[in-house]
Amino acid sequence: METSRDRRKAQRRDEILRAAAAVFARRGYHGTTIAGIAAEMNAPRSAVGYHHFETKEDIALAIVQHQRARWAELIRRVSDGPGSGLEQLLTILLSAALDARRNPLAAAAARLTFEQRAAELSFPAGDLQWRATGEQMIARSISEGDLVTTRAASEIVTQFFAASYGLVTAEDNGFEEPRTQYNLCRLWADLLLALGVDDPATMLARLTVVELPD
């Protein structure tokens, strides 16, 4: 039976994660400190106690694990829906990017995931494999004739992932106006033309944004 103490502990844990997410999203892993997280909460450093999380890396891992479950649900919903593999991949990227714009946990998880090698973070592999999912979708588009190209699926996925994350990062740093959907579709139109897609505008107009509960 859940006690009032359990509820307070769970509430405090959630407060820590949300405050940490805001700081991780702004400053990255190396720029975040326990003291900075406490300041984001308007609380003393002791509020982020060892009985909640032993280390900053534990907090980062909890954020990433929470978001991985949401990303997995996004991928499942899009994969079960209509569209070519390429369209499904772009739907996932667009939905994930817009989700990160409204949800600090999603924004932090995305940044931590991209930074994990440089930051030497040891996140467990888990079941969610972004690259493998993207490669499967692109390979399906190639095999079904929706995408006619001699380029490897892995190369195409790398280009879309890197370009998309780079654009979102450029918005975050003031190099682009924060019009994420417009900017991504403009970027993707150029990439799709380079891949030989005849009418990128029509394909991009078919994309829908999948919203997930927090």
Q: What is the DSSP letter of 103?
A: -
Per-residue pLDDT at 6:
67
Per-residue pLDDT at 90:
98
Identify which of 118, 114, 147, 148 has the alpha carbon closest to the alpha carbon of residue 131: 114
Token pair, residue 213, equals 């509960």
Per-residue pLDDT at 176:
86
Q: Residue 187 — very low, low, confident or very high, per pLDDT cuts 50/70/90?
A: very high
pLDDT digits (tens, 9 = 90+) for 48-88: 877 788 899 999 999 999 999 999 999 999 999 999 999 99
pLDDT over 80 (residue 13)? yes
pLDDT over 70 (residue 163)? yes
Domains and CATH numbers, the chain: 58-205 (1.10.357.10)
Per-residue pLDDT at 174:
87
In Å, the largest CA–CA distance within the chain is: 61
What pTM was estimated for this model as a whole? Answer: 0.90
Backbone phi, psi, residue 175, to 5°:
-85, -15
Distance of CA 176 to the CA centre of its chain: 19
At residue 86, the 3 state secondary structure works out as helix
**How confident is the prediction for the chain on average, in pLDDT?**
93
pLDDT over 90 (residue 95)? yes
Q: Residue 145 — very low, low, confident or very high, per pLDDT cuts 50/70/90?
A: very high
Per-residue pLDDT at 2:
67
Distances (CA, A) of 4 to 11, 41, 43, 65, 162: 10, 21, 21, 26, 46
Identify which of 16, 93, 26 has the alpha carbon closest to the alpha carbon of residue 59: 16
pLDDT over 80 (residue 4)? no
pLDDT over 90 (residue 125)? no
Q: Concatenate the DSSP letters of all residues of 122-191 into one string.
A: -----S--HHHHHHHHHHHHHHTTSS--SS-HHHHHHHHHHHHHHHHHHHHTTSS-S-HHHHHHHHHHHH
35-49, 117-131, 135-149, 192-206: lowest mean pLDDT where?
117-131
